[in-house]
Amino acid sequence: MDAVDLGTGISIYGCGQDEAGLFREMAPRFGVTLTITDAAVSDANIELTQGNRCISVDHKTEIPKSTLRSLSEAGVMYISTRSAGNNHIDVDFARRIGITVEGVAYSPDSVADYTLMLMLMAVRSARSTIVRAEAHDFRLSDVRGRELRDMTIGVIGTGRIGAAVLDRLRGFSCRVLAYDRRPKTSVDYVHLDELLSRSDLVTLHTPLSAETRHLLNLPRIAQMKPGAFLINTGRGSLVDTEALLSALEGGRLGGAALDVVEGEEGIFYTDRRSRPIESELFLRLQRLPNVLITPHTAYYTERALLDIVHNTIHNCLEFEGHQHG
């Protein structure tokens, strides 16, 4: 734990070393007191709020209602989560007990760039090519790759990240379809069923909520074109993993590239080389040669981290300003 004593207080939980360094560097510009710990917020470390009304939490750990209640009793009124989504916090419950929860904006280019990389890797069977090359098997694959310009790409969710993906796709001259309950950009919006049936590749960029959990379920995955690819850099639970596995193992889909996976908690952001992974669904996905899994790292760039730290402090001060205004 580290404290920087300057003024208005913010407690920073679940803070990695690189984040902590940036927080300490930026604190003097804002005139804030920071209490920094690498431990996730829990009932056991509520005292680290030290009477602060604002705290910041990471996106890796779900915060139970009991902890939210303890935070409220300790006088916390604002939680800034260092992520775009806030599905790891019961926002409605927090609101009922007097706590406002907000995410932070950061460079959408980080996830958009990564999404395009995963698209290209998926349609060129990059994982199997790399695995063979590492084993010194340099023969060409039996399956030829595809070019994006010959494909129809379906973008589900056109907020800041989805819009950044659309911007990049224009450079590939592919056909693009989009689905969003609130259309925001000048692109060809269609109903979700039509997008799934027409797209050669589907990419997910919608927030996770009760309404979007398992947005791609068994019936919807069955609507996807035979041989289609799925890219997910949104949230793992947007996809019903069992339904996806059925389509992949049965050969109906061409492949998937997943930076987020349902049930990733306790797997991603940990070293599991010496500890077996218990999730059979995860292991089945990982064994498939046409599935690429990366550990929720699309956001992880220097620019995005700067944005997250800056906007965390800014949002907390904005909240404090409104409270005193």
Please list the active-site residues: 235, 264, 296
Helix (H), strand (E) at residue 231: strand 229-232
How many other C-beta atoms are found inside a 10 Å radius of the C-beta of residue 149?
A: 9
Q: Is 177 exposed, middle or buried (0-12, 13-18, 19+ CB in 10 A)?
A: buried
* Cα–Cα dist 7/18, whole Å: 23
Helix (H), strand (E) at residue 178: strand 175-179
Tell which residue, 264, 265, 261, 266, has the closest CA to residue 238: 261
Q: Which two tokens stand for residue 147?
A: 């070019």
Instruction: Calculate Rg over the CA atoms of the chain.
Output: 21
